[in-house]
Structure 1
Amino acid sequence: MSEITLTNSFNTVTNKTIDTQKLLSMINVARKSCGENQIRNNVLIERVKDELDGETYKIFVGHKNGAQIEIIEMNIKQALRVAARESKAVRRVLVDKLESMHVASQKSGKSQSGLPEYRQARTLKMSVDAITNLFDLMPNLSDEAKQCAAANIVNPIVGFEAVPLPALEQKYYTAGEVGEMLEVSANKIGRMANKHGLKTEEYGKYFLDKSAYSSKQVEAFRYNDNGVKALQHAIHGVEVA
């Protein structure tokens, strides 16, 4: 639950915290350098609240250009997670600055008390970059598959469910499972799906799966109920109900 405090001060950074005014400035500088549109304070506030839902942070009421604004103070590790929502190009600029800020503040305070947190944050940043690179290599992955992969990589690092596992609204079947249903091989399921153009969102989604021939992770299409019916019709000539 967030802690709400009234104050007029903002734009502050300590060796462990940063507020949204400072973070907003950093994000917009990074976005501008990458040719992306800037964002407003209210957009960042909504993003922070969504990302840090259920966690402890401070909310302040401040003033800027004569208007009352909401300001959130969070720790650097939380700010790094908010920064991870940006595009790859912006994230690289932004995360590097947050890390540099954290290291510089530690040196100025001559304290190593934040070193474990910094190492964890750096590991998180490296993991997020690895996830992004993985997704770049597998552009067909469904949003559910991406969220699941991110959850399995990020959550063990941060020690809690920072990225929730997706709730699948329907069951998806592998080519092997569909093959057993229709009494044909998994290879034939794949060939028929390709022949009839069934590897679309109407008939299923791409998920991460282990290659049958190596330890590599590969994109694998899984079929929903519509996909199973369409394959049944294509293979056995049975009308789809």
Structure 2
Amino acid sequence: MRGINVISNNLSVNHGFVTDRSIDSQSLLEMVNSARKDCAESMVHNNVFVERIKDELDGETYKIFVGQKNGATIDIVEMSIKQALRVAARESKAVRRALVDKLEAMQEAYIQKRRSGSGLVEYRLAKADQLRAQALERNLASARELMAMCPNLSESANQVIVASLVNPLLGQAVVPLPVLKEHYYSASEVGEMLDVSANKIGRIANAHNLKTEQYGKFFLDKSAHSSKQVEAFRYNTNGVAALRQLLHGTEVA
């Protein structure tokens, strides 16, 4: 994982820094806690919120300052609106919607206030960020629905779903693709290896309860009979060995 690229400044600063392109953590925290209060959720403390921001923006460039609040020294993070939208995505569904609406309204207000011939490019860029944020919310909802419909999928398969829907919108691998340490074989591939049909492999696996983590994993695959995506079990070397034993009474060569 890449290290955080942080621009640090030890001068004491006041919070409340908000523009059409950036926002500081104190201003965002006020918005978060206001939305949480409206949704009857508990408040978030500054230290917890700053750690959450650092974790979400790990590997990215942002600014962090030392500030003052109620006489205490605190960290204040300055981030882009796009980064703030991703931090907001960690909240519950109700709070997230309120935050996205507020951030977009805030952007729009600044853009309208500053719009001019020279500000047209900035307006278009900010509008594109808004559209990406809306698309990100829709894609995250689609990912949750898909994972709910396929409850047997492995953690790595779920990670692939989220990565494929989120990374293209953000233009970078925010959600890394999992690294598979062993090869997994489809029922068709195992059938070819053992000289039987894929259907027979599936029947034997079901009859002997082989579709477990010991023998493989569930992955998302295209249905053979439609364009829908379905859960499909793929077998590891243990699964192939177990099927070979059941079919032919021999161990793996």
The question of a shared fold, defined as TM-score above 0.5 by the shorter chain, is answered with yes
Q: TM-score, normalised by structure 1?
A: 0.85
Decide whether the 8 Å contact of 1:95 with 1:125 is kept in 2: no
Q: Percent identity?
A: 58
Following superposition, the deviation at residue 28 of structure 1 comes to 4.1
After TM superposition, list the pairs within 5 Å mapping 1:2-17 onto structure 2: 2-5=6-9, 6-17=11-22
Unpaired segments ≥5 residues, structure 1: none
Decide whether the 8 Å contact of 1:12 with 1:19 is kept in 2: yes
Equivalent position to 1:151, from 163, 166, 171: 163
Following superposition, the deviation at residue 54 of structure 1 comes to 2.6
In structure 2, do the counterparts of structure 1 residues 138 and 101 end up closer, same or farther at CA, with 3 Å as the change threshold? farther
The 2-side partners of 1:181 and 1:42 are apart by: 56
The 1-side partners of 2:46 and 2:241 are apart by: 49
The equivalent residue for 2:153 is: 141
Please, what is the CA RMSD of the aligned residues? 2.7
Decide whether the 8 Å contact of 1:15 with 1:102 is kept in 2: yes
Matched, 1:84 2:89: yes
The 2-side partners of 1:230 and 1:224 are apart by: 10
Matched, 1:212 2:216: no
**Residues 19-42 of structure 1: per-residue CA shift (max 9 Å, x gap):** 222333433444555565554433
Aligned partner letter, 2:157: A
**Residues 76-115 of structure 1: per-residue CA shift (max 9 Å, x gap):** 1111122223444443343333323323333343455222
| 3-state SS of paired residue (1:2) | strand
Decide whether the 8 Å contact of 1:147 with 1:163 is kept in 2: yes
Decide whether the 8 Å contact of 2:12 with 2:68 is kept in 1: no
State how many pairs are aligned.
Answer: 241
Which of 1 and 2 has greater Rg?
2
Aligned partner letter, 1:24: L
Matched, 1:74 2:74: no
Unpaired segments ≥5 residues, structure 2: none
The 1-side partners of 2:129 and 2:64 are apart by: 22
The 2-side partners of 1:72 and 1:155 are apart by: 24
Following superposition, the deviation at residue 216 of structure 1 comes to 1.6
Decide whether the 8 Å contact of 2:36 with 2:42 is kept in 1: yes
**Residues 125-179 of structure 1: per-residue CA shift (max 9 Å, x gap):** 2222222222222222222112212222222222222222111222222111222
Following superposition, the deviation at residue 70 of structure 1 comes to 1.6
In structure 2, do the counterparts of structure 1 residues 98 and 214 end up closer, same or farther at CA, with 3 Å as the change threshold? same
Decide whether the 8 Å contact of 2:136 with 2:166 is kept in 1: yes
After TM superposition, list the pairs within 5 Å mapping 1:74-223 onto structure 2: 74-110=79-115, 112=120, 113=122, 114-223=126-235
Following superposition, the deviation at residue 182 of structure 1 comes to 2.2
